[in-house]
A = this chain, B = another copy of it.
Amino acid sequence: MASWFGRRGPRRETPRLRARGARRSVTRVEFTDLHPDPDSYLGRAARIQLGHVETLGALVARFERFDDKERLSTAAGFALSKHQAVVAEIERRDGDPAEAMAAVAPSIDHFRSITQGNSPTEALLSFHVTSGFLDDLFIGLAASLPPDLGPRIGGLLGAEAGTAGIVDILEREISVDRRTASFLAMWGRRLVGDTLLLAREVVDGGGHEHGDDVEPVFTELIAAHTRRMDALGLTA
């Protein structure tokens, strides 16, 4: 499997880690310490947003209600806009978007296949949980991209995603049946495990030294995940 941040520029010969205080025996890595390779980062971000379009696009036909179809297709439209904006960044850097995405496709495709769920509601919870986690990760990582790229990418990935409409659908489905809620809570815990593996793969390719404590990054992402599950009344 291709390493996500495998292409290194000379800038990454010296890892840019900051000690977080003399008392600490382990170097704590924060989001701004991770310095992803911009080309790999952009390829993955473009592929992930296109994956959002695929997932949401397929769900439009699977939900019966017209207002659900509209919410889902609106969210797909936001993801498409983000995908196109990231593709434009790749082209601005004289990269080939298709090549950049193909290089990272296998791990993302595998992740998508194991997290897709069966029922439409499972699939939508999966989208909400995994896209929330990955989008948080990529927005966080944008802070350590070069200053001519990071703020713009962080801004565009952090733009409107149609999340409120998705939460409305999930809340309605969960309120219908407590067994559904119980199953979805379990499904959510399974999803966060798979998503953490992918996130770990992203971060482990990020140029910091092996053995660094990257837990603060994950602690932050998991806290956001827990808030997302809590908001749905699901036990994270």
Contact = CB atoms under 8 A, between A and B. Distances in A.
A56 interface: yes
Given A67-B98, A73-B76, A76-B76, A54 B50 contact: no
A101 interface: yes
Interface in A20-72: 47, 50, 53-61, 65-67, 69-70
A57 B50 CA distance: 12
Contact of A73 (B47, B53, B74, B98): B53
A161 B111 CA distance: 32
Contacts of A70: 50, 80, 83-84, 87
A83 B65 CA distance: 15
Q: Indicate how many identical chains form the complex.
A: 2
Nearest to A116: B61
Nearest to A112: B61
A95 interface: no
Contact of A58 (B61, B65, B77): B61
